[in-house]
Copies of this chain bind each other. A is one copy, B any other.
Amino acid sequence: MPKINAERLLADQRRLAQFGKYKTGVHRPTFSPQDMEARQWLVAQLTAAGLDAAIDGIGNILGRPRKPGPRLLIGSHSESQNHAGWLDGALGVVYGLEIARAFAEDATCADFPVEVAAFADEEGHFGNFLGSRSFIGDLAEEEIDRSRDHTEGVALRVALERAGLAGRRREQIVPADYIGYLEAHIEQGDYLDRAGLHLGIVTGIVGIWQYRIVFAGEQNHAGTTRMAARKDAGVALVKLCNAIAARFAEITGPRSVWTTGFIRLEPGAPSIVPGGAEMQFQIRDVEVAQLQRFEDALKELVAEADVAGPCRIALESAWKVSPVLMSAPFQEALTQAADHWSPGGAMAMPSAAGHDAQILARKIPAAMLFVPSINGVSHHWTEDTKEEDIALGCQVLADAAESIFRRARG
């Protein structure tokens, strides 16, 4: 049974958090100098662990074992959101590194080929799961050509050039070479922390359906236009938001969420009745039926408001990510390992956030393990997880990896 070294694991987590350190968190946007230094450091650690490690043309790190046979891929992503937490995806990458070392150090597992991945830009500074999509062959050169960093508008091509990655080959998965993919991550919500639990076995990753709702009214003078004569697009938007809030609360599933993340009024001046308005609206659920229930209600509310007037309202589907189920045998392996190391300390749960595992799951069996986020804080520099939970999670993932290998070898 591979035994992880908790001290070494925590030391590496702490060391990685020095790259782009920001207060008690990190600021390590994709392809920033601090992100590239972190990647170089990871390559060195993976190499020291006996893996053939390199950064590919989209910034993915793959640490490849020199051992024969189907490989188990373990990892996550190492860049961070702006001014965000020290663990997040970095946790899962260092877990991969530590598990590769623990396997190499254990005579009964030393020939199990563990491969470690740190996918680039899971956080979406430039796009949408660029690294893992590149790895499964779902990222065209044209998308790279037109992508830009959302914070500063730097073209992805320029960022790749500056990071020294221009012209490098992008590695692509050969599914038959892999048993599957395991990813650990902080929960990012507070279900585990509130329940006093230590581990989350992810059943599936939520689907995200994203909409743009556009309101067309009539721009007018905010003094001379009588209230009754107005076609105020902002007023129409606010009314619809309220109708959604009331209706969605009635039909919600147990873990459904919906969010208006962006609102804009046109022209957005104090003395002008807004002639146009726009909102971005998102729903998430692990059940397609629930997403459909929400969408049907949304269409109904928009149609009612559009007919009622005085503004015209149009609902556009911006993009849809389908819910993804995690591999049942992998979940079983994780559950057994969790029961062993923390009896009663784990729960099965969906992931309400997107992860590289949902991309990998399109090609190979995939599963995820969560450790608690203290107070559920995520994407903020105060994000944290107890050291004992960090160590526990790594050991459970190592055990699950071992049993997955043994099952694959019959």
Interface residues of A (CB under 8 A from B): 187-191, 206, 208, 210, 219-227, 229, 232, 234-235, 238-239, 241-242, 245, 252, 255-265, 268-274, 280, 282, 284, 318, 351-354, 373, 376-380
Contact of A229 among B190, B219, B226 (CB under 8 A): B190
User: A190-B226, A206-B223, A223-B257 are known contacts; what are 8 more A-B pairs with Cβ within 8 Å?
Assistant: A189-B225, A208-B271, A219-B380, A224-B351, A260-B274, A261-B269, A261-B270, A270-B318
- In the bound complex, residues from chain B placing their C-beta under 8 Å from that of A377 are 220
Shortest CB–CB separation between residue A38 and chain B, in angstroms?
A: 22
- In the bound complex, residues from chain B placing their C-beta under 8 Å from that of A257 are 222-223, 225-227
Are A189 and B378 closer than 8 Å at their CB atoms? Answer: no
- Copies per complex of this chain: 2
**Which residue on B lies nearest to A82, using beta carbons?**
B267
Are A272 and B189 closer than 8 Å at their CB atoms? Answer: no
- In the bound complex, residues from chain B placing their C-beta under 8 Å from that of A208 are 223, 271
**Which residue on B lies nearest to A234, using beta carbons?**
B260
How far is B318's CA from A388's CA once the two chains are assembled, in angstroms?
A: 51
Are A223 and B262 closer than 8 Å at their CB atoms? Answer: no
Shortest CB–CB separation between residue A368 and chain B, in angstroms?
A: 13
**Which residue on B lies nearest to A258, using beta carbons?**
B227
Are A268 and B261 closer than 8 Å at their CB atoms? Answer: yes
Are B245 and A261 closer than 8 Å at their CB atoms? Answer: no
**Which residue on B lies nearest to A273, using beta carbons?**
B259
Are A224 and B261 closer than 8 Å at their CB atoms? Answer: no
